[in-house]
């Protein structure tokens, strides 16, 4: 029980909630599109069952992700993916990713649509949440993941419009979210077994596992995402305004 009272636990919970809000906007859109043709009496049921199924599926995926991250070099790959996800958050491409989400007037067909679409779109959430959970210690990663996701459910389902409006009004929220993903990427990379274990993979340079190194790696990752994201955003804007 004491492990759940540590600052590391609550910092990781906060990171998971923020990640799920920032990366869950698409999920809220999918839920709305899939359930839009349901009768009003069934719409709430469709939203709740679809969200519940998607969350259970995501917990299972994160469990496997946490297990896989113990394999050497996979954290490095995950860190690179997180940097890419953070950059995409700061410099999104303006395309209609939800045009193929079909609504249904049948409750369970809509629920199935929500779950399948969420499975396809959850790679970024799964990698980011697994990375955040790594910072809380090995003893309670899955309880932490489940708790963080449960807390974020009502925020996504009922507060998604408010969150979207806040992000539109205060773009700094998105910037901080992208930098958070970069921070997690930096700390994930230096904790890869290949750079931690002194008795294995001796050809790989080893990184001291001190708080100073951890914070430095996190800062470097956050700044890297910020710089690349701003550069990509300016390049996309220049392309959008270029004469055809």
Per DSSP, the residues of 119-172 read: HHH-HHHHHHHHHHHHTT-STTHHHHHHHHHHHHHHHHHHHHHHHHHHHHH-TH
Is residue 119 scored above 80 in pLDDT?
A: no
User: What percent of the chain shows pLDDT beyond 70?
Assistant: 74
More confident residue, 97 or 213: 213
Of the two residues 38 and 102, the one the predictor is more confident about is: 38
The pLDDT score that the predictor gives to residue 17 is 79
Q: What is the pLDDT of residue 221?
A: 94
The C-alpha R_g of the chain, in whole angstroms, comes to 19
Q: Which of 123, 92, 126, 125 is nearest to 22 (CA)?
A: 125
Query: What integer pLDDT is reported at residue 96 of this predicted model?
Result: 47
Q: What value does the mean pLDDT of the chain take? A: 77
**Residue 59 pLDDT exceeds 90:** no
Residue 81: pLDDT band (50, 70, 90) is confident
Q: What is the pLDDT of residues 14-39, one digit of tens each?
A: 888 777 777 766 666 666 667 777 78
What is the structure's pLDDT at 235? 87
Using CA atoms, how far apart are residues 218 and 204, in angstroms rounded to an integer?
A: 20
């Amino acid at each position: 029980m004491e492990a759940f009272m540590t600052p590391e636990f609550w910092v990781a919970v906060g990171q998971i909630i923020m990640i799920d809000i920032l990366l869950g906007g698409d999920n809220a859109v999918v839920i709305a599109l899939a359930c839009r043709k349901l009768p009003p009496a069934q719409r709430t049921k469709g939203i709740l069952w679809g969200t519940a199924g998607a969350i259970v599926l995501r917990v299972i995926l994160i469990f496997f992700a946490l297990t896989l991250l113990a394999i050497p070099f996979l954290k490095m790959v995950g860190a690179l993916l997180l940097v890419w996800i953070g950059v995409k958050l700061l410099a999104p491409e303006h395309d209609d990713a939800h045009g193929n989400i079909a609504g249904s007037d049948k409750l369970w067909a809509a629920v199935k649509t929500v779950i399948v679409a969420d499975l396809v779109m959850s790679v970024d959430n799964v990698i980011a949440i697994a990375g955040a959970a790594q910072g809380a210690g090995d003893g309670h990663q899955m309880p932490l993941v489940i708790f963080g996701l449960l807390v974020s459910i009502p925020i996504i389902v009922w507060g998604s419009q408010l969150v979207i409006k806040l992000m539109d009004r205060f773009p700094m929220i998105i910037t901080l979210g992208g930098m958070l993903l970069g921070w997690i990427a930096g700390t994930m990379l230096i904790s890869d077994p290949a750079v931690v274990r002194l008795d294995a993979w001796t050809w790989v340079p080893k990184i001291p596992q001190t708080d100073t190194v951890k914070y430095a790696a996190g800062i470097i990752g956050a700044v890297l995402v910020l710089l690349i994201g701003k550069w990509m955003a300016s390049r996309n804007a220049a392309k959008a305004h270029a004469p055809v």
